Structure 1
């Protein structure tokens, strides 16, 4: 008996082959999508970690800067014994520096004590 070819829909073997091709393609595509999503998630995590490191470094730098002592102004030279008007001029200048905020209360008291020699 000669082999008669069916016209129209494919046979059972053709359907199985087509299903295998579709399933294989779907698996490959879903694997590529999952891989791309994983790479994107890793990149976002690395970016977040980098931002946290930068913020921590900036905070540490600010803390180190805040902890640095301010350089105090040089104390006034000791007053020479003798001329009273010179003493008054130095005290007046010292008072102006204190009022302007250049000298703190402690620095003002220390410099005044040096000028008065007490």
Structure 2
């Protein structure tokens, strides 16, 4: 009895279909695992950010320093000079102190 062999070294149609199914299944399983790991990392990062958020919310709020004072208006300057004159006249300020204070006001 002579047995006839099929093609040697090359799979038949069913072998090719089976191999394709295995490769496709492996690729699908790998892609699913990668997607699950990515979702897990995202969830971990969101949980970490949620834990850290209150610390950022409690940070002190820094405010800008106050703006420099506006230049004295004429009325205010006159009032200050009059006050300096009265202090000098009453003897509370010496001549040198009066001159220095007046120079600061007029500068």
So what's the TM-score if we normalise by structure 1?
Answer: 0.45
The structure whose RCO (Cα within 8 Å, separation 6+) is larger is 1
Larger radius of gyration: 2
